Structure 1
Amino acid sequence: MTSQWDLPKEDMSHPDSAIRLASAVHRFHCPKTNPDRKVSFAKSFNSCGKHEKTRKTMLKCDDTRKRLEEALSATSVSHERVVADARKYLPFIHTVLVSCKFQPEMARLDERLVFEWQSGVETKPKFYKSEAIMMDVTMCILCEGLGKAGVATEASVAGEFAAASREYAAAAGVFQFLADDHLPKWVARGTRVAEDDLPVECCVDTAKGLSILFQANAQQMAVATVLIKAGTPNYSLVAKLCLGIHEQLEEFVVYMREKAFTQMTRIDKDFFTLITFQVSLQKALSLYFYARSLWEQQSEYGLAIAVLSEATVHLRTKESPTSPTGMPDVAKIPPLKALTKDLNDLRGHMGHLLHLWEKDNSSIYFESVPRSVPADKKLEKGLCMNKVEKYHLADADPVLLSLPEDALKRSDSDLARELQERLNAGED
């Protein structure tokens, strides 16, 4: 006769739904150029760019920019291609920028250069227009940063979490560079362009916020990497990592509200709803894995039950928008509705595990269960890996610009136009 002790034990390891939810992120788009706005450096610099090397640089600029435009406007955008084409274009447009900066009196254009870009982050994208070459340089760097985030998202969907973590760290590095180095220099040069007249990604504080966000995303992928491995993970470590993600996402939201509220209102509201969801989810996962680490120690069964019980509270749907704990009702939010099945599965798993622990405790361990987790038993601080791959813009050497032969025979209208072009160049 087979006794209950001979029956195979039920598998109560963390479910796949926990991995999918823990790695859920927002899919950003890449910026786009206006297909109706034709830009030709070769034509614009035809007269002042007669030198052979200069001419070749302008032609390369046109060619690589066209390739980037095609990558961005493709029906099915390849983020890897966007990153590659942005990297090819950047050295040439940067060279043009440096050349105009060091030889402003020579930069007399035959045709105006007007750049039009559309944000990849805003809810209602529109084309922003500028004659500043710095605008084109900045948007090219943004293509690389958001392209890297796109590559990371695709890797995550494919279950390649280690690769996704590296790509998000690279995206975080791009936006950190924009926030700490590149964009402040643009502002310091006396640009008269208001932030409302630029794509939201071009704002210093938005770039800083996105750097924080992508660091959190990189850590989400690192956690998923641990969870998909065979065997029992280090529950204590995973608990601290999830709490670190929770703290980083909260930091991102607080930073955006305090430093970039105007820009925040231009970004998709559903994106911030997903962040709110992840803030509660990562807190719940942190408590869940912490409870499992306590249970495994075989010494604090009552505390483990209390911690797991608190985790289930954070997974509940909020009774009202002002409720201090819980998460938004994803079933009623179209972009997040796809998470409903996994969320219900995770809730069922935690509830079942809690029931089994309570049953074991009442019949075997007989430990008292605190009504709430004592303050001195809570995880004090999460672990933040701060995964950032440093990004830098390589130095560029200027190419020779020269005055056209008839430069001294300009009419008053020509001089007025050139003065205006110089003022516009001052934005760079």
Structure 2
Amino acid sequence: MSDYLYKDLEKPKTEHPDSAIRLAAVVHRFRVPQPTPRKISFFDAFYTTGKDAKTRRHMKQADEARRLLQEACCASKVSAERVIECAQRYEPLINTILLSCQIQPEQARLDEKLVFEWVSGVEGSTHAQAFASEAILYDLCMTVATTGLGQALLATEHSIAGDFAASSRAYATAAGIWAFLSDDLLPKWIAKGSSVDATKLPSECHGAMAKALCLLFQTNGQQMAVATLLMKPGTPNYSLLAKLCLGVQQQLDGFIALLRREAFDPMQRLDKDFLTLVALQIAVHEGLTLYFQARACWENQEYGLAIAFLSEAGIAMKTRTSIASRGVPDITRVVALKAIQPDLEDFRNHIQFLLSCWEHDNQSVFFEAVPQSVPSGKKLADGHCMNKKTVFELQPIEPVLLRLPDGALQRSDSDLARELQEQLNCGHD
């Protein structure tokens, strides 16, 4: 007998749709920073002072590791795992060179300049430019930032594949790396001298931007936790989902507020489509919060209140009429976000279908009064924020020997004394 004969007898599908899972998990796919192809040779730069056999081997290893990192970051199809692997291999090598120069400053003489150039991974393509610096610490900071954005890219790839648990772990790792940059590495660099101007460096080197990215990736990880709960068989804990979604909304609001307050200039360099996506995420998670509260009320047999919540969820999911009004931003003309539109429409249709089912049941069975609007005391005031991040530390290192040829240091001392006397003479004038 044909399955078609049973079509009208099937129970209407009122469980949460797959579109809700995809909307809960939508995130921005960041690029990784790119070191430019400009030739960097530690072996040549430290040729005179790096005569020690171990030092020479180290410089050659650093040159090769940086070349491989540049290839991984600039590949036509970037592999997150390869970028992370190459950045982790290069990090202790460049950090060792930095430490060696710091503890042997008189011996750290270069035969040729080292100029490090990087293109930001978080700035929009219209602002893409190479930022140059001779500071070895700059190269270390951007290498760590590359690991952080590589982990975020890996998390995105996991989420696309539907492995939300793995994605959440990768986001926690990314958040920990950006917390380390914000709290430890970048302040150490900026504290070295007032001549360091963060506005002339990639946004990754701005302390407040690093702090904001830590918050963003913690929030993205929480989105993956929501998707994980929705993917599990059976009826989920709707009250918990509502609290988690409100937490996502509040953290994203905090992310934007932090950028405006402490990183306004770097914020102007971000991809405008990314900021539109964040506005979309905020609105969607407001709608999801109301939706899950509605389902929790229905399960608790608060039928009238559930209908009021669901009706408000439908309003929250509508396209907003202006930038200041409530609702979802219009993404129909944003090429990068067009793929989200079908899920928005599907979820809106689901809300309307579920609302009609509930209204029918209430009018024919339950007969509960439906409030005109949700009482303010019934709405969640604060969401739940998981704040997951994995503690990050630089790999342990030992310095290598730098040594000037015999007599070079004495001549250098004479030069320094002469320069000091000239400065004193100028001061007396």
What secondary structure, in the 3-state scheme, does the structure 2 residue paired with 1:117 have?
Answer: strand
Q: Greater shift after overlay, 223-232 or 91-100?
A: 223-232
Q: 1:20 aligns with which of 19, 22, 26?
A: 22
Q: 1:303 aligns with which of 281, 286, 305?
A: 305
What secondary structure, in the 3-state scheme, does the structure 2 residue paired with 1:116 have?
Answer: strand
* Aligned amino acid, residue 33 of structure 1: P
Q: CA deviation at 1:409?
A: 8.2
Map of 1:221-240 to 2, 5 A cutoff? 221-240=224-243
* Aligned amino acid, residue 374 of structure 1: P
Taking the aligned partners of 1:77 and 1:335, their CA distance within structure 2 comes to: 19
Q: Does 1:294 align with 2:297?
A: yes
Residue in structure 1 matched with residue 179 of structure 2 by the alignment: 176
Q: CA deviation at 1:399?
A: 1.2
Residue in structure 2 matched with residue 158 of structure 1 by the alignment: 161
How many residue pairs get matched?
410
Residue in structure 2 matched with residue 425 of structure 1 by the alignment: none
Q: CA deviation at 1:375?
A: 1.6
Q: 2:203 aligns with which of 200, 205, 214?
A: 200
Q: Please list every run of 5 or more consecutive structure 1 residues that lacks an aligned counterpart in the other structure.
A: 420-428
Map of 1:108-127 to 2, 5 A cutoff? 108-123=109-124, 124-127=127-130
Taking the aligned partners of 1:79 and 1:389, their CA distance within structure 2 comes to: 18
Q: CA deviation at 1:397?
A: 1.9
Q: 2:219 aligns with which of 213, 216, 219?
A: 216
* Aligned amino acid, residue 334 of structure 1: V
Q: Which string of whole-angstrom CA distances, capped at 9 and with x for unpartnered residues, describes residues 384-419 of structure 1?
A: 11111111113422111111235258699x989x99
Q: CA deviation at 1:191?
A: 4.9
Taking the aligned partners of 1:297 and 1:7, their CA distance within structure 2 comes to: 27
Q: Does 1:243 align with 2:250?
A: no
Q: Which string of whole-angstrom CA distances, capped at 9 and with x for unpartnered residues, describes residues 70-119 of structure 1?
A: 11111101010000110011011000000000111100111111111110
Q: CA deviation at 1:9?
A: 1.7
Q: Does 1:350 align with 2:321?
A: no
Taking the aligned partners of 1:201 and 1:70, their CA distance within structure 2 comes to: 20
* Aligned amino acid, residue 24 of structure 1: V
Map of 1:250-329 to 2, 5 A cutoff? 250-298=253-301, 300-323=302-325, 325-329=326-330
Residue in structure 2 matched with residue 424 of structure 1 by the alignment: none
CA RMSD of aligned residues (A): 1.9
Residue in structure 1 matched with residue 3 of structure 2 by the alignment: none
| Compared CA separation, residues 91 and 304, structure 1 to 2 (3 A) | same
Q: Please list every run of 5 or more consecutive structure 2 residues that lacks an aligned counterpart in the other structure.
A: 1-5, 421-429
Residue in structure 2 matched with residue 138 of structure 1 by the alignment: 141
Taking the aligned partners of 2:129 and 2:143, their CA distance within structure 1 comes to: 17
What secondary structure, in the 3-state scheme, does the structure 1 residue paired with 2:132 have?
Answer: strand
Taking the aligned partners of 1:53 and 1:317, their CA distance within structure 2 comes to: 63
Map of 1:61-80 to 2, 5 A cutoff? 61-80=62-81
Residue in structure 2 matched with residue 426 of structure 1 by the alignment: none
Residue in structure 2 matched with residue 338 of structure 1 by the alignment: 339
Taking the aligned partners of 1:197 and 1:145, their CA distance within structure 2 comes to: 21
Q: Which string of whole-angstrom CA distances, capped at 9 and with x for unpartnered residues, describes residues 36-73 of structure 1?
A: x1101111111111112211111111111111111111
Q: CA deviation at 1:7?
A: 3.6
Residue in structure 1 matched with residue 379 of structure 2 by the alignment: 378
Q: Does 1:362 align with 2:363?
A: yes
Taking the aligned partners of 1:191 and 1:178, their CA distance within structure 2 comes to: 19
Taking the aligned partners of 2:407 and 2:42, their CA distance within structure 1 comes to: 20
Residue in structure 2 matched with residue 422 of structure 1 by the alignment: none
Taking the aligned partners of 2:19 and 2:224, their CA distance within structure 1 comes to: 14
Q: CA deviation at 1:334?
A: 1.6
Residue in structure 1 matched with residue 55 of structure 2 by the alignment: 54
Taking the aligned partners of 1:386 and 1:373, their CA distance within structure 2 comes to: 29
TM-score by length of 2: 0.92
Q: CA deviation at 1:21?
A: 1.1
Q: 1:8 aligns with which of 7, 10, 13?
A: 10
Q: Does 1:402 align with 2:406?
A: no
* Aligned amino acid, residue 120 of structure 2: S
TM-score by length of 1: 0.93
Taking the aligned partners of 1:321 and 1:129, their CA distance within structure 2 comes to: 37
Taking the aligned partners of 1:138 and 1:304, their CA distance within structure 2 comes to: 50
* Aligned amino acid, residue 13 of structure 1: E
Q: CA deviation at 1:132?
A: 0.2
Q: CA deviation at 1:8?
A: 3.3
Taking the aligned partners of 1:409 and 1:275, their CA distance within structure 2 comes to: 60
Q: CA deviation at 1:332?
A: 2.1
What secondary structure, in the 3-state scheme, does the structure 2 residue paired with 1:248 have?
Answer: helix
* Aligned amino acid, residue 192 of structure 1: S
Residue in structure 1 matched with residue 105 of structure 2 by the alignment: 104
